[in-house]
Structure 1
Amino acid sequence: MDELPVVLGLLDEAAKWLNARKIDQWPSSFTGDATWRIDRIRRYVNEGRTFLAIDRASDESIATFTITELADPEYAHGWPDGPENALYLFRMAVARAAAGNDIGGQIIQWASNEAAQRGKKWLRIDVHRLNPALQSYYEEKGFVKVAEVLAPDPTVIGRIRGSGALMQRPSIY
């Protein structure tokens, strides 16, 4: 839990970058988000499911991501062969100073290897439905879109969450 501020700082930087580009994907700030998101992030950090990628040369945290064997409960029903046979990658964010160095690709490969070691067939993500550039990024990394699911946003009555493009790639890639 002592690294939670670092995780939130990386997520806040990514959220600010997205919002500056008019990409409505994440809240404007995770640190200031008093919804289910921050509760889920705290829980994942506390349970040891959230990781930091460290630059060996500078000893700086340059990325964060979460992996779990549990699908997002709002999307679990959308996976073609059920939610059990996968490792799920959530909230991957790379520091802008480290962008362009394929840190995301390295994280994806590490997570794929972790999925294989755990005996899981798939590495899965749910991507923002209205962000084709992000979906293309993951397709370049070997993911295939297998479904699109709509789920309510528990923070705003009547609003639909942006995520829901369900993508997966084999754990052994």
Structure 2
Amino acid sequence: MDLIFEQIHIKDIEAVLKLFKEAAEKISKKKIDHWQYWTNPPIEKIKWVEAGIKNGEFYFIKNKDAVTIGMVRVLDEDELYWGKKDDLSKYIHSLVVIETFEGQGIGKLVLQKIENEAKNNGFDYLRLDADSKNPKLCKYYENQGFEKVGVKELPLSIYNLYQKEIR
């Protein structure tokens, strides 16, 4: 499946917040306490999204028919979760696949697309985090070749930090 990353603009913030809310509701149905703050996001999370959109870091994921099937945030640095790093890394956040499209390998394809682009542009690592209360997601990233390298405690949760060397 060919995926298209379409940059998200500030006018799309309500659609982004809706995707987060739907993802939180989907996760809650699975009895996993992860991302529940997105059902009624605190102002700091809304500002985090706004900053990411303004920095050109959020993308809608679309299929060949231009149907939105998810979203992802890709950054060149992530001091909040990772601190200051000197290597060249891409940081992945907010990977959401709309429930209708789950189970089709889209998450894996998104990670591969970001990895290929990063590798072609001389980046050393892909880095991401996963809520420690979501062991299924943590295992998913490990199965995609990511290695747990740390833990980050933030006000809303404790996150496992993962990286994958791509040089």
TM-score (norm 1): 0.82
| Mapped pair 1:41 → 2:36 | no
Task: Give 1:22's aligned residue.
Answer: 31
Larger fraction in strand: 2
Task: Give 2:117's aligned residue.
Answer: 114
Task: Give 1:7's aligned residue.
Answer: 16
Whether contact under 8 Å (1:120, 1:171) holds in the other structure is yes
* Structure 2 segments unaligned to the other structure (5+ residues): 1-9
Give the whole-Å Cα distance in 1 for the aligned partners of 2:18 and 2:139. Answer: 26
| Mapped pair 1:124 → 2:132 | no
Residue 164 of structure 1 aligns with an amino acid whose one-letter code is: Y
1:76–1:66 Cα change, 3 Å: same
Match of 2:160 among 149, 155, 165: 165
TM-score (norm 2): 0.84
Cα-Cα RMSD: 1.9
How many residues were matched structurally? 158
| Mapped pair 1:54 → 2:62 | yes
Task: Give 1:73's aligned residue.
Answer: 80
Give the whole-Å Cα distance in 2 for the aligned partners of 1:74 and 1:124. Answer: 10
Task: Tell me the CA shift for residue 83 of structure 1.
Answer: 5.9
* Structure 1 segments unaligned to the other structure (5+ residues): 154-160
Task: Give 1:93's aligned residue.
Answer: 96
SS of the residue corresponding to residue 73 of structure 1 reads helix
Deviations 1:77-119 (A, max 9, x none): 7xxxx46431100010000001011111111011112322332
Give the whole-Å Cα distance in 2 for the aligned partners of 1:131 and 1:100. Answer: 18
Task: Tell me the CA shift for residue 72 of structure 1.
Answer: 4.2
Q: Deviation above 6 Å: which 4+ runs of structure 1?
A: none
1:84–1:25 Cα change, 3 Å: farther
Residue 15 of structure 2 aligns with an amino acid whose one-letter code is: V
Could you tell which deviates more after superposition, 35-44 or 5-14?
5-14
